[in-house]
Amino acid sequence: MKKTAFLNLTRHSNRLLEETSAAVRRVLERGHFILGEEVAAFETEWARYCGARGAVGVANGTDAITLALTASGAVAPGRGDEVLTTPLTAGYTALGILNAGARPVFVDVDERSLNLDPEKIEAAITPRTRAVLPVHLYGQPAAMEKINEIAARRDLTVIEDAAQAHGARCGGKACGAASLAATYSFYPTKNLGAFGDGGAIVANDADFLERARILRQGGHREAFEAEVAGRNSRLDELQAAILRVKLQKLDAWTARRRELAAIYFEKLKNLPRLTLPANDPEAVFHLFVVRHPERDRLRDFLAARGVETLVHYPYLLHEQKLFRGAGQKSLPVAEKAVGEILSLPLYPELEDEEIETVCAAIAEFEG
C-alpha cells in the first residue's frame, strides 16, 4: 500500500540541497558562527517581509515569546502577573509565558476559527492581567482588530504568537503590525523552517527591539557588561544563512499551501459530518484541520489506508497540571473541539495524487 505521509521533510531538504549547501559553505569559509552578518541580514530581510521596522533573531519560538514579554515590561517574575491566551495551542506558548515569570490564564476559543474568542476576553481580565497573547493557530489569523481594541481600552500589552503564521495577514495588516510584537518559530516543520531551531521577534518600536536585542544576549548591551537578567538565546549564523535561502521561496510555498487547501475545500465540501476550517484568504495553512464527531474512527480508517494524520493538539493547556491555575474556568468550546480535530497532510511538496488519495479515503469513510 502506498503511504501518504503527514509531512515529508526529506523531500523538502533534498530539493534545497544545492542552495543550502552553498549557504552553509559560505558560513564555514567565513568562520563566524554567532551574531554575524547572516543573522543581521536575515533580521533585515525578515523584518521587511513582515512589513515591520525590525526583527531580532533568537534561539527558538518559545524564547521569542518569553523575551518579547520581558522586553515589553508588561510582566516580571514574582508579581503574579497574568497573560491571557488560548488553551488550544502548542504547550510552548504557555511555557513562554511561564518562563517570563507570568501565569497563563486561558480564554475559550471561537467555534469557527478555533482562535482566542475576543468576546470572552473581558470576563477573564483581573487586576493582575497585563497582556494578551493570541496565537494565529494553524496559520489562521486571530481576530486582531477586536483583540487590539479591547487591549487598548483595558491597558493591556498585546504580543502575537505567529509561530504557525509566517506571511499571514490580519484584516489586511501584517501579523504584529497593530500590536507590540509578533513572535515566530523557525522549527523545521514551520512554513519557514530552519534545519534546526530558530525564532524571531518582529516589531515596530525601536526601544522595544533594542531591549529584546539586549535580552537575547545574556542581558549585555556591550560585551561582558551585564545590564539585565537576559537569556542566552541567539539565532546562529548557519540557521540564518539557511533561512535566507528559504525565505526567497516562502511566497511560492504559501501559494502551494493555498492551492492544496483549495483542493480540500472543493473535494470535501459535501460531507455533512465533516467541518472544514475557515476559508480565510489571509490564512497560510500551516495545518489543515478538520472536525469530525467520530475523529478517532476516521483517523484509524485513514491510517488503514496509508494516510497519516495528526492531532493538534490532543490535550488542552488549561487541563494540564503545569499550566492550570486556581480559579481556571472550564472552556466548553475548546473542550468539545479537542475531541474532534484532525490535521490532514498539507505541505508544499505534497503531490496532487496524494491529496486525492486523502480526499478519496475520507469520502469512502463517509460512505
Ligand X SMILES: Cc1ncc(COP(=O)(O)O)c(C=O)c1O
Instruction: Please identify, using beta-carbon distances, which residue of 89 and 148 lies nearer to ligand X.
Output: 89
| Contact pick of 42, 46, 187, 253 for ligand X (by CB under 6 A) | 187
| Contact pick of 46, 92, 264, 285 for ligand X (by CB under 6 A) | 92
Closest distance between ligand X and the C-beta of residue 185, in Å?
3
Closest distance between ligand X and the C-beta of residue 164, in Å?
5
Closest distance between ligand X and the C-beta of residue 115, in Å?
11
**Per-residue x/- marks for ligand X, 146-185, CB under 6 A?**
---------------x-xx--------------------x
Instruction: Please identify, using beta-carbon distances, which residue of 183 and 357 lies nearer to ligand X.
Output: 183
| Contact pick of 8, 20, 66, 89 for ligand X (by CB under 6 A) | 89
23-62 residues in contact with ligand X (CB under 6 A) are: 60-62
Q: Of 337, 359, 342, which is closest to residue 295 (Cα–Cα)?
A: 342
Q: Is 199 an interacting residue with respect to ligand X (CB under 6 A)?
A: yes
Instruction: Please identify, using beta-carbon distances, which residue of 234 and 361 lies nearer to ligand X.
Output: 234
Instruction: Please identify, using beta-carbon distances, which residue of 97 and 121 lies nearer to ligand X.
Output: 97
Closest distance between ligand X and the C-beta of residue 200, in Å?
10
Instruction: Please identify, using beta-carbon distances, which residue of 92 and 253 lies nearer to ligand X.
Output: 92
3-state secondary structure the chain: CCCECCCCHHHHHHHCHHHHHHHHHHHHHHCCCECCHHHHHHHHHHHHHCCCCEEEEECCHHHHHHHHHHHHCCCCCCCCCEEEECCCCCHHHHHHHHHCCCEEEECCECCCCCCECHHHHHHHCCCCEEEEECECHHHCCCCHHHHHHHHHHCCCEEEEECCCCCCCEECCEECCCCCCEEEEECCCCCCCCCCCCCEEEEECCHHHHHHHHHHCECCECCCCCECCCCCECCCEHHHHHHHHHHHCCHHHHHHHHHHHHHHHHHHCCCCCCCECCCCCCCCCCCCEEEECCCHHHHHHHHHHCCECCECCCCCCHHHCCCCCCCCCCCCHHHHHHCCCEEEECCCCCCCHHHHHHHHHHHHHHCC
| Contact pick of 52, 56, 135, 238 for ligand X (by CB under 6 A) | 135
Closest distance between ligand X and the C-beta of residue 25, in Å?
26
- Total residues contacting ligand X by CB under 6 A comes to 15
Instruction: Please identify, using beta-carbon distances, which residue of 197 and 354 lies nearer to ligand X.
Output: 197
Q: Of 196, 192, 190, which is closest to residue 245 (Cα–Cα)?
A: 192
Instruction: Please identify, using beta-carbon distances, which residue of 91 and 339 lies nearer to ligand X.
Output: 91
Q: Is 85 an interacting residue with respect to ligand X (CB under 6 A)?
A: no
Stretch that binds ligand X, among 68-76, 88-96, 109-117, 319-327 (CB under 6 A): 88-96
Which residues on neighbouring strands pair with residue 133, listed in sequence order? 85
Can you read off the three cell numbers belonging to residue 20? 543550502
Instruction: Please identify, using beta-carbon distances, which residue of 189 and 275 lies nearer to ligand X.
Output: 189
Using CB under 6 A as the criterion, which residues of the chain lie in contact with ligand X when the complex forms? 60-62, 89-90, 92-93, 135, 161, 163-164, 185, 187, 197, 199
